[in-house]
Every structure is written in structure tokens, then in C-alpha cells.
Structure 1
């Protein structure tokens, strides 16, 4: 028969209340609850704090002791029926779980969120992504680290240490407000932080840690914004391809890299590392760095011309240099029209919405977006997705930036084509008669 008793040791100073757990002759275990009481206020007969008028903590301690007793019996019944070994460490671990605190300093990542994040990030490079047979990408790990930094800034601001049980809707509202109002971060970036936080919290939940159930509440959502992202149509791409940059090597080299990105739909992490080995029977074949998916892309005539002119691929440069130079070449090429969009303010380091000259908004992301948008409606979506490597149509459609006017023009062209075909068919029928 299992029994629980409380006892104290010492006669003068405040001392720990100990729990003694016995299961017949099988085990006799003692562990501290870390609840303290002055010996003169303790009733050994009733195993609780005496009901004296001058003690304001008596009700709290006595209630906790009663709740802890029920909790330990429930945990024992569950674990013992599963064959788990019941020893002193088990009892210490269960008491710590009840009070939501680490068993010792080595177990702080079982209670506090940031230490768990550190462990999660440390193990990320060796973790294999299900279904892809590859490890976590460096860019994803960078995203984990920036999210951890924001959580630590939040803790410092509010003088707290987040536990898993703190990840509720109150925390969500406070964290989002801290990022948006105090740090002036745009909603899309906040969404990235929340999405990463939820990913790590769900991993903790799978490991049996006491994550607050609000993490799955509909109101604990990932904020998203519909960006006014620009793209280049075929005429604009041809204008860049044919522009005379008057022998300025950095612009000519960047222009050729830009055209390859625009005509392949690859991410910058992929098109900047293309080599002769990636050309096979007139196609580009490459395993994408982000997803590990192998894509096959036919050589566009402009890409062929660049390879023939240079006897290979252009000189590779860094992502940062590419994004600097591509703005310069688009300015030189005359992309000065004012358009709605967003760009990073170099002084505040924050993304700002507004109306800017088009060349100021051009980055490497425009390559993939332009490729998908220019082919949309001309090929079926699944064919385009096979080239871009998008795994779902929802992901793919995010890249499509056709305006409402352009969509209306497509419908107009379709109806005109339908009318012409109908007229031809009617003429054929008249001839047959």
C-alpha cells in the first residue's frame, strides 16, 4: 500500500518540508518539497502548518501539500503501471514537475523556454528533415537564433524568465506589442518570430514538457501581410539584357547573373553557385540548397547567349554585393517609375512601406517572383512548380504578382480568342452546307 507523509527536521530556523513516499516494502523514499516552515508552526500530528493567526502563508502551504499528495499518487499509478522504475530521482523529478521548476541546474531547459531554445538550436545542424533526407538549412538556423535574441530582449525588458507555462495568450499579446510598438518591427517579420517560436514550443510539447495549451489557440496565430512585391515583365527583362552598360564590369557581371536568376526562377543561394557541371544535355540540373529538391530547367536563349559569351557562368559574388549592384544596374537601365513597395531603411534597419522608384525595391527575390509571374497562365501551375520547386500550390501562388488590371487583360484576351475560334468554326460550318 502506497502512503505519503510530511515531516521536518530541525528545531529553530525555517526548514524544508520533506515528503516521505512509501510503497509497502518495495520503496521508502524521501525528498524535499522546498516549501519552508518554522518548526514551532508545524504540526507533526496533522502533518501541516498550524492554523495560527499570525501566519499568512499557512493556507497556501497546506493547500499545496494536499495538491502535491494527489499529484504524486496520480503520477505513481500511471508510471508504475507502465513499469517505470520508482526511486528517489523519480520522486524528486515529480515534485519539481508539480512546482514547475528544474530538478537541478542541468535540467533548466525542462522548465525555461530560452535554455530549451539553446539546446534546440545546438542540435539543429544534425537534425534530419523528415521526407527530405537532409539537415536543417543554415538560413533556418539563423532564423532560430534571431528569434531567440528577440525572446531574450523581451525577458530583459520585462525582467522575467519565460517558462513553458508562460506561453499563453497574455504573453502573445505582450510580445507582439513589444516587437511592433517598442521595436517598430513590421508585421511580416513579427510573423516569422511567432512562427519560429511555435515550432520550437511544439517540439518541447512533443518531449512532454509543460507547454501552455494556448500555443495551439487560434488567437496565438502567425501574423501575415500581403506585400506589394514588384516583379519584372518580359519587356523589362529584355531591356536589362540588351542595355549597354558601357564596359562597367561589375554591372555587366551582375546583369548576367541577374538574367540567369530571372530566366531560371532559382533562389540566389542556387543561381550564384551554378557551374558547368550543372549543365546536362541542354538543361540546368541542381539540388536546391533550401529544400534539397532536384530541379531541371531548360536553358533560355538569353542564358545560352551569356554562357557562350563568357564561355561559362559569370563570376560569383556575395548575396550582399549582388543586392547592392542590382539596384545600381536597374537605376542605370532607367527603372525610375514610382511604385508601391517596401524596403529597408538603412538608418533604422527596419522595413518601411511607401512609394519608391522601382530600382530601389529590386533585390534577388525579384528573380523567382518574376519567373513564376511571367509564366503564370501560359503553362499549367504544376509544370511551373516542377521548375521552381514549390511543393504546394499555396506556396507557389504567393509568388504571383499579377495586378488586377493584368488579370482583366488575360480574361479579355481569352474572350477575344474564344470569339475568333467561334467565328472560324461558324465559317467552316457554312462551307460544309
Structure 2
């Protein structure tokens, strides 16, 4: 009789761990393979072989089931993963029953979990024609913004082909020769920045690897098709500058609204695609461990798809209270980026700073008044940078949704000094 059970190797802690499946049939075989699913170790129910769907807290010596907004989000996430695991168990059972003259080993089980892509003659082998196929195959995994990036790269490649007097770009032609020609086109003809060109080549490789999964042959040099990147230069708003912005009196209604959105972005650490969607329906009021009450924002990040249960900063509550417990009116990103520069200029954020301003489709780096360098992303980066070292990094990562501390440190332009400090302790002891 076929038995299927799911398990994790890490049984505790907040580490993200793969979920494995164990499939056995008496003494005939006993197979263990990693599935596509992962979970936080502490949320795994080892007894049931599934993710926990109920969460408890001890109150007065008794276990009481938690029913707050954060727990509801955890339940929904666990339920989705468990349903996929149950579907996989049924899939494995069906494959076992239908198998004829098959050797039941780990390769068989891996094929059941990750079946090879069926290659059809209709799958194109040139980059431009494959882009819509990529979007269709990844539609449940990529965001709207990512789709826009793919279509933008498709347009750039079409323009590159036209400039090069070529009809198509076959995946088998994406090699070092192509890379050199594409770099030259981007830098000299289009005036694109080094980082923008590097980002496009990275996306091109991702699309190429998806084509390979569809049976399309790639050039052996595909891994070498990448460009150098320059260190990102960015600005943040300091606590003193934020105080100046907060205290400035704006007569213009739009500037007053955008000032409040800027403060909301700084004290929530979110992208404009998320904070500009904030509304009071996302708020829940919950009891904290210190017997106080706090508000939380419950939403799904637009770019990452992460479910967030974000505590509302007191400064955001001040803004809500002054507005009759409503968020400010919403603005599209272009208008916001234009108005936020005026907000900072009027508040005196005008010191000369080195940075890049986009001119003719590429960034020109020079010294500019700081307010000219302000965009919607400064709120998120200011949140991360200003709180680094004051709030434990893992807690900051809850808000920013960075997957690793190294990614977070790169984001704020910091290096991990732990080993350096450890060495220094030997020098002075």
C-alpha cells in the first residue's frame, strides 16, 4: 500500500525550510524528495505532516486560540500550501497506480513532482516571439510590473535588431558577440546607464532559461551574457529633515496631502505601489503584549506578493487622526514624484548632493539640490536606513520584506561589520 507523508528537516525556529515528501510502499521502496513548497519551521505541524492552521497563546495557564488579523493571514497562507500538498499527494498516488514497467526511484518521484515541459512545435526559438509565451507561462508567478519590464525589454530588442539590420534574435545566437553589440547599442546609441543595461541582460537570461525548459537550445556562452554594475548612489531623508517637512505649513492642499503621504511612506517602509493603496479597511486594532492596543495594516505587497501584518507607526496615526481617521487622497506616481520635490524644496531640503537625474533616457550624475533627487522610493529607503542599528534588523525586514539580511544591507548601502568587530575585539583584549 502506497504511503505519502510530508515532513521538514528543521523542526523549530524561524528559518525557511523546504517541505519534503516521503513515499513508501512496504519494503518495495522508500523515497524522499524535496517538493516545490517551503515553510517557516515553527509553523510546521510534524504530527499531521502539514502546515499549522490553528495558532494558540497561553493565557492564565490555558491555551487560547488566536483569532487576530495576523493569525488570519497565517491561516490563509497555510491553507493554500496544505491544499497544494494534498493535490500533490493525489497526483503521486495516481501516477503510481497508472505506472507500467516503471522503476520506482527518486528520479521517478522527481518527474512526478516536476514533470518536464511538453515541447510543442509552436514554441518559438527567437527571443521577441517567445516573450508572450514567457508571460503566459509565468502569469501566476510574476507581477504586473514584471510583465511591463518584459515587454519593455522586448521593445528594446526589436529596436536593437532594427538598428543592426537583423530580422530575429535566436536564443542560440545570444552569446558574447551579441553581448558586446548590445552593450555598444545601449551605451552609445540609446544612452542607457550601465545598471539599466545590466538589469536588462539579467532579465534576458531569465527568459532564455525559461525557453530552455521548453526545449529550446541555448548558446554555451549564455551565462557570460552579463554586464558590470555600478554602485547605486541614493539619498535618504534624515530625522532632522523629516522634522522640517512635518512642521512646515503648506497652504496648497496637494502639497499638504503629498507631505502626509511622504511621511506615511517613511514610517511604513513601503513602496508607492503599496502605500498609495492604504485605506482604513486594511486596519485592525489588536491587543499588544504590554496590555496596550495597537493598529495594524493588513495587505499583500504588490511587487512581492508577501502578506504583511504591519504595525502602524504613531506618526501615521497622528496623520490619520488629523484627517478624521482617513488616509490622504491618492495620486498617481508621476504626479506624486513631481509634487514631492516641491514639498521638500519648500521645507528647505535644498543642500547640494551628488546623485543622478534622468535626462534623455539615462541618468546624469552631478551635484544637484537635494529636493531634485527626491522620488517616491526615498520613503522606503529612509525607513530602512534611519532605523538600522536602532531596531533589530530581522524586525526591520518584516516591514521591508527582504528575504535575507545580506539583501537588506545591500539595499541600504551597508556592509556586515560583524566579522570586523570580532577581529577588533582581539586587538583590544
TM-score by length of 2: 0.64
Q: Is the 8 A contact 1:112 1:164 kept in 2?
A: yes
- In structure 2, stretches of 5+ residues that fail to align are 1-100, 102-119, 286-294
Alignment partner of 1:371: what SS?
helix
How far is the alpha carbon of 1:395 from its aligned partner?
2.3
1:294 aligns with 2:294: no
3-state SS of the aligned residue for 2:412?
coil
Does the Cα contact within 8 Å between 1:295 and 1:388 map onto a contact in 2?
Answer: no
> Partner residue of 1:334?
348
Deviations 1:185-230 (A, max 9, x none): 001111121011001000011112111121123xx22432212100
- More RCO (CA 8 Å, sep 6+): 2
Contact kept, 8 Å, 2:236 with 2:381, in 1: the verdict is yes
Aligned equivalents of 1:306, 1:111: Cα separation in 2: 54
The separation in 2 between residues aligned to 1:288 and 1:270, in whole angstroms, is 6
Paired residues of 1:369 and 1:401 also in contact (CA < 8 A): no
The structural deviation recorded for 1:386 is 1.0
* Deviations 1:69-106 (CA, angstroms, capped at 9, x unpaired): xxxxxxxxxxxxx9xxxxxxxxxxxxxxxxxxxxxxx9
Aligned residues of 1:154 and 1:178 also touching (Cα < 8 A): yes
- How many residues were matched structurally? 291
Shift, 1:392, TM fit: 1.9
Q: Give the counterpart of 1:373 among 381, 385, 401.
A: 385
- Contact 1:230/1:401 (<8 A) preserved: no
Work out which of the residue numbers 169, 179, 191 in structure 2 matches 1:184.
Answer: 191
Please report how far the alpha carbon of residue 334 of structure 1 lies from its aligned counterpart in structure 2 after TM superposition: 1.0
SS state of the match for residue 354, structure 2?
A: strand
Listed as ranges, the gaps of 5+ residues in structure 1 are 1-81, 83-105, 130-135, 416-433
SS at match of 2:403: coil
Give 1:261's match in structure 2, choosing from 251, 260, 265. Answer: 265
1:336-355 aligned at under 5 Å gives the runs: 336-345=350-359, 348-355=360-367
> Which residue of 370, 376, 382 corresponds with 2:394?
382
**Partner of residue 238, structure 1:** 243
Query: Contact between 2:191 and 2:361, CA under 8 Å: does it hold in 1?
Result: no
Give, in whole Å, the separation in 2 of the partners of 1:202 and 1:366.
34
Q: Deviations over 1:164-191 (max 9, x none)?
A: 1101111111111110111110011111
**Helix, strand or coil for the counterpart of 2:411?**
coil
Distance in 2 of aligned mates of 1:119 and 1:206: 12
Residue number among 148, 158, 165 corresponding to 1:142 in the alignment: 148
Q: Distance in 1 between matches of 2:361 and 2:223?
A: 32
> What is the CA-CA distance between 1:122 and the residue it aligns to?
4.6
Aligned to 1:319: 333
Structure 1 residue corresponding to 2:208, chosen from 198, 201, 208: 201
The corresponding residue for 1:248 is 252
Greater shift in the superposed pair: 151-160 or 256-265 = 151-160
Displacement of 1:111 in angstroms is 2.8
| CA RMSD across the alignment | 2.4
| Aligned ranges 1:31-430 → 2 under 5 Å | 109-125=123-139, 128-129=140-141, 136-160=142-166, 161-217=168-224, 220-245=225-250, 247-281=251-285, 282-311=295-324, 312-345=326-359, 348-401=360-413
Distance 2:379 2:345 in 1: 17
| CA–CA separation in structure 1 for the residues paired with 2:160 and 2:244 | 48
Aligned-residue offset at 1:299: 2.1
**SS state at 1:317 partner:** coil
- CA separation of 1:299 and 1:110: change in aligned 2, threshold 3 A: closer
Asked whether the equivalents of residues 108 and 115 of structure 1 are also in contact (C-alpha less than 8 Å), the reply is no
Paired residues of 1:180 and 1:186 also in contact (CA < 8 A): yes
Give the alignment's TM-score, normalised by structure 1. 0.64
Contact 2:195 2:229 in 1 (8 A): yes
